[in-house]
Amino acid sequence: MPKKYHINTKATPLDLDFVFKFKIVRGENCINCGKCTKVCIYEAHKRRKDDPRKMADPNTVVCRNCFRCIQECPRGALEKSLDKDFANIGGAFWKPDMLLSLWKQAEDGQVPVSGAGYRGPFTGTGFDSMWTDMSEIVRPTRDGIHGREYINTGVDLGRKLNHLNFDSGGQLASKVPDTVALPIPILFDIPADNLSSNVKEALLKAATAINTCIIMPVAEITPEIEKYSNNIIPCLVPEEIDTHEAVVKKARLVAIEYSDAVLNDFPSLRGKIKKLGQALTIIRVPAVKDVEDIAARLAHSGAEIIHIVADYRGQERNGSAGTNGRLLKDIIRAVHSRLVEDRIRDEVTIIASGGIAMAEHVPKAMLCGADLTAIDIPLMVALGVRVYEEPEKLLIFPEGLDKISSSILTQRMVNLMGAWHSQILEMMGAMGIREARRLRGESGRAIFFEEIDKDTFGNLFRKREVVSL
């Protein structure tokens, strides 16, 4: 049995300002008796350091909503109230609850539990209109995290053969192309601009710790971070290859930004990169309207790995909020179907990114047809970054983040990935799938709301044609 892939998580609180759904408030009638310091096992209540006769403000960060302090305060001085700023963070896609859940997963690396049962809607847009077949969940010993059977989340990047040739002596005649294996179907995508050095270092360390790779603009790959080169994917345009030969030579994977020139002459670009070293080439294609045509042409030209990049809400690049631009789920399905129709799907690796916001989006994207995913914003939320959508994407970094040690920030990103890995295992176990490679395009394991809605009610509520007599 192969050695089990494991992500080491460790409780890592971050004492920075974050917006919580509720906050604990201590009223004027507090008599500073200190009873709440004893009843709260999470140490949300402490005395002031400068004047221990008085109570400090409650620490909402560590509160776990047990209500014990509220019940036991002899003066009824404590109350939990809705934080009015909470509803204003995020937006239609990056919902406040989603951001809070990411923050909490980064805190302890645990699978989030809603406690009182799920009370939200059962369908929505994008991945929310997709349910997975959990029929194998009734077999507890085969269950994801706790089960005895090994569930492999590993994936391979690179060109594959669609058949093998053997010579007359029965020896393999086909040359099997090189691939890069990753133990988890998640890459770190190009980070936000102007990150402080400790955040950049933490991203590199976290990618290394979980044995994945991070895509970075080639200009940011300085000699100081060379020690992480095994886990860095330099991203560049073809014209930069000559200037950055040394970086390309060392890389296992190189990401090239898509352009018409890349599409028109992919073989010579790949030849140039191959001449320098062993790197496999990823072409980063914006998820525009005709992205499936571009992906098919690239695949036929010999592309090894195609990265479909939707916008930060998982929308088509030429769509905007409120328009009819496709969402990531449908974009991946269109690309996958097109490659299947062209009988070339098995030969090329597809990465999907943009709007991968929760652990469940990873297996869902793979069921739609991606081989793996790439993420960026969730890693920033793990560090306390707030996301706002309107009027445009805005990331607000918490004050003091640049002073926090990179090892704390690293552990929080590792925690987040540990929580996601556990959730992917749970989903795969419940679906009865033991190999992440088998998730790709396995749409029979998914139920798409739009399709069952059409099958069930299509004829009843379909607009009838008006026939004039």
Residues that bind ligand SF4 (CB under 6 A): 24, 26, 30-36, 39-40, 42, 44, 55, 63-69, 73-75, 77-78
Give me 457's structure tokens.
């009610």
Amino acid letter for position 165: N
Q: How far is the CB of 381 from ligand SF4 (least distance, A)?
A: 22
DSSP 63-111: -----HHHHH-TT--EEEEE-TTGGGSB-SSS-HHHHHHHHHHHHH-PP
Q: How far is the CB of 387 from ligand SF4 (least distance, A)?
A: 26
Q: How far is the CB of 39 from ligand SF4 (least distance, A)?
A: 6
- Between 35 and 437, whose beta carbon lies closer to ligand SF4? 35
- Between 68 and 160, whose beta carbon lies closer to ligand SF4? 68
Q: How far is the CB of 104 from ligand SF4 (least distance, A)?
A: 13
Q: How far is the CB of 103 from ligand SF4 (least distance, A)?
A: 16
* Three state DSSP letters for 119-170: CCCCCCCHHHHEEECCHHHHCHHHCCCCCCCCCECCEEECCCCCCCCECCCC
Give me 269's structure tokens.
């670009």
Half-sphere exposure of 332 (CA within 13 A, CB side): 33
- Between 69 and 206, whose beta carbon lies closer to ligand SF4? 69
CB 182 within 8 A of CB 390: no
Distance CA 369, CA 162 (A): 17
- Between 45 and 284, whose beta carbon lies closer to ligand SF4? 45
Question: Regarding beta strands 446-448 and 130-132, do their DSSP bridges make them parallel or antiparallel, or are they unpaired?
Answer: antiparallel
- Between 34 and 458, whose beta carbon lies closer to ligand SF4? 34
- Between 40 and 241, whose beta carbon lies closer to ligand SF4? 40
- Between 3 and 53, whose beta carbon lies closer to ligand SF4? 53
Exposure pattern of 226-246 as b/e (b: 16+ CB <10 Å)? Answer: eebeebbbbbbebebbeebee
- Between 69 and 425, whose beta carbon lies closer to ligand SF4? 69
Q: How far is the CB of 62 from ligand SF4 (least distance, A)?
A: 7
- Between 63 and 348, whose beta carbon lies closer to ligand SF4? 63
Quote the distance between the C-alpha of residue 407 and its chain's center: 21
Residue 161: count other Cβ atoms within 10 Å of its Cβ: 12
Cα distance between the two ends of the chain: 73
Q: How far is CA 300 from CA 58, 266, 339, in A?
A: 61, 10, 9
- Specify the DSSP element, H or E, that contains 271: helix 266-276
Q: How far is the CB of 68 from ligand SF4 (least distance, A)?
A: 4
Q: How far is the CB of 25 from ligand SF4 (least distance, A)?
A: 10
Place of tokens 């081989």: 371
Q: How far is the CB of 69 from ligand SF4 (least distance, A)?
A: 3
**Which of 232, 186, 181 is CA-nearest to residue 417?**
186
- Between 5 and 22, whose beta carbon lies closer to ligand SF4? 22
Quote the distance between the C-alpha of residue 410 and its chain's center: 16
Query: What's the length of the chain?
Result: 469
**Which of 193, 187, 147, 112 is CA-nearest to residue 360?**
112
Q: How far is the CB of 418 from ligand SF4 (least distance, A)?
A: 23
